[in-house]
Structure 1
């Protein structure tokens, strides 16, 4: 502290000056009856019994169940981060970041306990007031106040050939660095890529993505140098308002990666009136070969419908890590690739792959504790370990570190959905859609959230958005059936046959079948799940029972999800009691739909024992009870 205040003085002189100032301050406070400072030659402390803060008052209100006082305080504190505007160096800044995270998680747990108590007592208006105030303070509801930015895919003109994807590298670096700017929401690259190849004009893309600005650019790589050009464009007018150009040797783009992001941050901040702050520079690699392999692996990880892409992605990322085993971002990318293999390919070792992913995520965090997405991967794995409380804890930590990452935001929302806390989950799901509005997977969660809340029209709209973005319409069919439109629902579900072999994979080890047999099977499934006919339902229940007994993976989603949707309670609880893996996990969020026959599992007399067996009760006791079970019924 003495060095910070008197930087130009010698250390002994600065320390002596600080001690004298503190002693003088202590005497002045004592004259006013405030004996709060404790000063010695080695330390400075305050008497906590004589100090009161808005944070302490808020925590007291929450712990004493004074919801009206807590609501008032949260409204007063909305938009005010904890311990803000303190700049005393990197060490203190890191300490403050840790403290903020711990305090926010502590407040979140206290708020959720009080919300559960209010709901259990039937105090709905007070519950809703506190919930809205909490969301306003915690930041979820403030996303719409930010300016939106989309980074378009950069063009690469490469005179040298090869597989060095510098354009992708620049886009990734910009996305990461700009994502930390206050007041700026960077749209996910999945949504940008989905629209960038369309015939839409920039103003039309701006409207669909919900952004105000674009960054576009190009890389020209030649033998002597690499030329990077970037420009900021106003979405509504297609007008350029800022540009930058870098012409340097190739080594610059590895050794001075930080400067690329800082140039863009400086230009954007000036052009858009934003505060110049960003997240720490990521722990990357100095190896060009490892970085090239990493970029190729990351690209293939997202191409889930391309045959062989995911195993190849794992191979490339593992090769990169052999070159540089301290490449933290690559460990996180490899963790994600293992999860994608478990979810999107017909493999038998899904829990083992989840364990591999968790090991990679832990290695990434050992190297760089700021890897928020690595915590999201750990959250997935904890469900396979029947530890939902740990899963939610990891999801909360991931969100604290990377609140602007749509994948992280959705992981928190999905964890809450699995636990039946749909009202709390919905704002996070909606936030993920704002961050990545053209990614169909996000609308799956939105569809189920609205189904669970009884918003049937909204559920159908979300399901249709999912289908429009290329996701098979199984959830749309379920939503249409819940809304009573069984004929349309059966047709929607049956139409998913077009995706078999690409997005929808046959169960692991299943024999190839003819198109006619495939169509007959899906027709039976559609009528059983969506037809509203009890006989058709029972027929398909019998069929998935047979699949459970004969498939190499008896816990495959082709068994687990229909068991939940058709209210086949005994089979649904048996499957999830015995094995939760990344592919069947999403079926848990449909347990909380209060529409027959889906609700039959929740209404089953063995449901609470089932919930305790898979760890849900422990999570509810720690974080709050689900919407449909507002207090412990045991």
Structure 2
């Protein structure tokens, strides 16, 4: 490519100018619109250069000439066009900034400065299908680049990736994410050559505004990503903050192989499975070996160890201290890295039980990235555990608005209503989520404990172990020993002590990789079995191990059988949940 953008055909030219094809043809005849033809025949294929059109607009569409153009395409015509929504209507309506489709003669909308776009994961078309992580990585880096552009709002990564592999129309994507534009593409790598294709579509009707193909050496991936980002910025007429010539894409390292390893790590991390997380850690470590100043690599390590601890895949003392060290290292390199602040907040919340420190770090992440739903969701966890239920529910709903297709966030709305003991509302939310994604195993877990609290035991058992075999997150994220332990809790609460003890037998000693069981969860079950002393011995063990589930003591109904015991109040004070 020579760097000049080509608009191929009248359809692309008219879309770029925001006018009908008929109007553009008149502009060519009467105003000298710079359009080229492959030959001199009337039916010859036409094309135009974007830079020439820009110069033509600046030179020709001013003053009296602008008035002439408006007369040519004025009210009364039925052709659909793209109209402008900005304060300088008389100038900007001529230039044709893309805002929304409307009919000529329709009242122009009020000022609109924010345009909404979703960047979908790029499809891997490589012969060996081994570049899926690269396609995801291109989308990731474009999301990070474009969400910092003033006047442009990008859909959250989790919501964007929800459509991966799904056969959906642009209109459906636009409706579910409330976006006007869709950036999609593909990547193909063969030997030492890489082909990336990117297309910008209207979500309203799937109209393709442009398609660009980049045939490059794989080492040029950052340059290609930056070119795509600038194409989007130029097409949507949004403002670049800071130095205009500065790269939009900032991968955090100049080492392409380090970033490639990081992308593979994030790809595995997003699956959340035990083995996936262990493999992700190895990729992140290899990335920082190549570039010891690569802050994102350290943040990835922190996130991976944090999830292993939070999922009870490994004991807390084996995971959270490492998560802490890597988060601190990431922030030493880049103190503006929101994910590192959030990871540090998670450690302070779930392991150190430093709730003030957790709030400080999570709020710092929210300040840096105010529209990232994950940070609001993490803040909601903190608020809920502290018993600030109204604030927690408000925050998790905000997180859902920001990341509407994030299944974890969506399920947690019902979960925090459960902690607030608003059971009817919790059931309504969770059933709604089950309709949205019938195999969401997070909802299975939440409905099981909700129905147990509501004494609806048969329904609770229905959402036990058999349900988890084909859930949306697969067995990758579900610790089957933990699933069985939850089933034992339901039996204990309903009074079927024999079945509960049968499941529990020997499980308090299970601590192998990927099958660790929270002592706090086991304690809740023994409490309902009437074995109070054993329950508190397990809680003391959980306290010594810094079990992350201890932060739920204040609000989780599963501990209700133990609340009247003075030892429970003492534990709440030691954890920091009560003064």
The answer, yes or no, to whether TM exceeds 0.5 is yes
Q: Out of 470, 478, 499, which is 2:449 matched to?
A: 478
Deviations 1:486-517 (A, max 9, x none): 32222223544536954322459xxxxxxxxx
What does residue 439 of structure 1 align with? Answer: 406
Q: Out of 470, 484, 492, which is 2:463 matched to?
A: 492
What does residue 140 of structure 2 align with? Answer: 172
Are 2:184 and 2:200, in contact at CA under 8 Å, matched by a contact in 1?
Answer: yes
Give the drift of 1:551: 3.5
Structure 2: gaps (5+ residues): 1-112
Are 1:173 and 1:261, in contact at CA under 8 Å, matched by a contact in 2?
Answer: no
Q: In the aligned structure 1, how far is the partner of 2:419 from the partner of 2:171?
A: 36
What does residue 610 of structure 1 align with? Answer: 571
Matched, 1:398 2:365: yes
Give the drift of 1:326: 0.9
Q: In the aligned structure 2, how far is the partner of 1:479 from the partner of 1:160?
A: 46
Pair 1:526–1:198, CA change in 2 (3 A): farther
What does residue 229 of structure 1 align with? Answer: 197
Give the drift of 1:299: 0.8
Matched, 1:189 2:150: no
Deviations 1:439-470 (A, max 9, x none): 32223421221123343233123334266353
Give the drift of 1:327: 1.0
What does residue 304 of structure 2 align with? Answer: 337
Q: In the aligned structure 2, how far is the partner of 1:261 from the partner of 1:607?
A: 55
Aligned-residue CA RMSD (Å)? 3.9
Secondary structure of 2:477's aligned partner:
coil
Secondary structure of 2:346's aligned partner:
helix
Q: In the aligned structure 2, how far is the partner of 1:379 from the partner of 1:553?
A: 27
Q: In the aligned structure 2, how far is the partner of 1:249 from the partner of 1:201?
A: 32
Secondary structure of 1:285's aligned partner:
coil
Q: Out of 341, 344, 350, which is 1:375 matched to?
A: 341
1:63-102 → structure 2 map (5 Å cutoff): none
Q: In the aligned structure 2, how far is the partner of 1:557 from the partner of 1:406?
A: 29
Deviations 1:503-539 (A, max 9, x none): 322459xxxxxxxxx98x775443334xxx3x33797
What does residue 544 of structure 2 align with? Answer: 578
Q: In the aligned structure 1, how far is the partner of 2:572 from the partner of 2:486?
A: 31
Pair 1:421–1:537, CA change in 2 (3 A): farther
Q: In the aligned structure 2, how far is the partner of 1:352 from the partner of 1:390?
A: 21
Matched, 1:360 2:321: no
1:16-35 → structure 2 map (5 Å cutoff): none
Deviations 1:322-350 (A, max 9, x none): 111111111111211222333447434x3
Pair 1:164–1:232, CA change in 2 (3 A): closer
Q: Name whichever of 317-326 and 180-189 sits farther off.
A: 180-189
Pair 1:575–1:462, CA change in 2 (3 A): farther
Are 1:361 and 1:378, in contact at CA under 8 Å, matched by a contact in 2?
Answer: yes
What does residue 592 of structure 1 align with? Answer: 555
Deviations 1:292-314 (A, max 9, x none): 21111111112234x73222211
Q: In the aligned structure 1, how far is the partner of 2:365 from the partner of 2:320?
A: 17
Matched, 1:200 2:168: yes
Q: In the aligned structure 2, how far is the partner of 1:537 from the partner of 1:210?
A: 50
Give the drift of 1:175: 0.9
Pair 1:437–1:311, CA change in 2 (3 A): same
Deviations 1:268-312 (A, max 9, x none): 3x2xxx55449986452222221221111111112234x732222
Q: In the aligned structure 2, how far is the partner of 1:577 from the partner of 1:218?
A: 49
Give the drift of 1:613: 0.7
1:466-545 → structure 2 map (5 Å cutoff): 468-472=438-442, 473-496=444-467, 498=469, 502-507=476-481, 524-529=488-493, 533=494, 535-536=495-496, 540=500
Are 2:510 and 2:517, in contact at CA under 8 Å, matched by a contact in 1?
Answer: no
Are 1:541 and 1:566, in contact at CA under 8 Å, matched by a contact in 2?
Answer: no
Secondary structure of 1:526's aligned partner:
helix
Are 1:181 and 1:277, in contact at CA under 8 Å, matched by a contact in 2?
Answer: yes
Structure 1: gaps (5+ residues): 1-144, 509-517, 619-634
Are 2:121 and 2:184, in contact at CA under 8 Å, matched by a contact in 1?
Answer: yes
Pair 1:497–1:470, CA change in 2 (3 A): closer
Q: TM-score, normalised by structure 2?
A: 0.67
Secondary structure of 2:199's aligned partner:
strand
Q: In the aligned structure 1, how far is the partner of 2:151 from the partner of 2:522?
A: 43
Higher normalized contact order (CA 8 Å, seq sep 6+, divided by chain length)? 1
Q: Out of 241, 246, 253, which is 2:221 matched to?
A: 253
Q: Out of 374, 386, 389, which is 1:407 matched to?
A: 374
Are 1:227 and 1:245, in contact at CA under 8 Å, matched by a contact in 2?
Answer: yes
Deviations 1:29-81 (A, max 9, x none): xxxxxxxxxxxxxxxxxxxxxxxxxxxxxxxxxxxxxxxxxxxxxxxxxxxxx
Q: In the aligned structure 2, how far is the partner of 1:566 from the partner of 1:438?
A: 37
What does residue 288 of structure 1 align with? Answer: 256
Are 2:507 and 2:517, in contact at CA under 8 Å, matched by a contact in 1?
Answer: no
Q: TM-score, normalised by structure 1?
A: 0.61
Q: Out of 390, 398, 405, which is 1:423 matched to?
A: 390
Give the drift of 1:244: 5.1
Give the drift of 1:588: 3.5
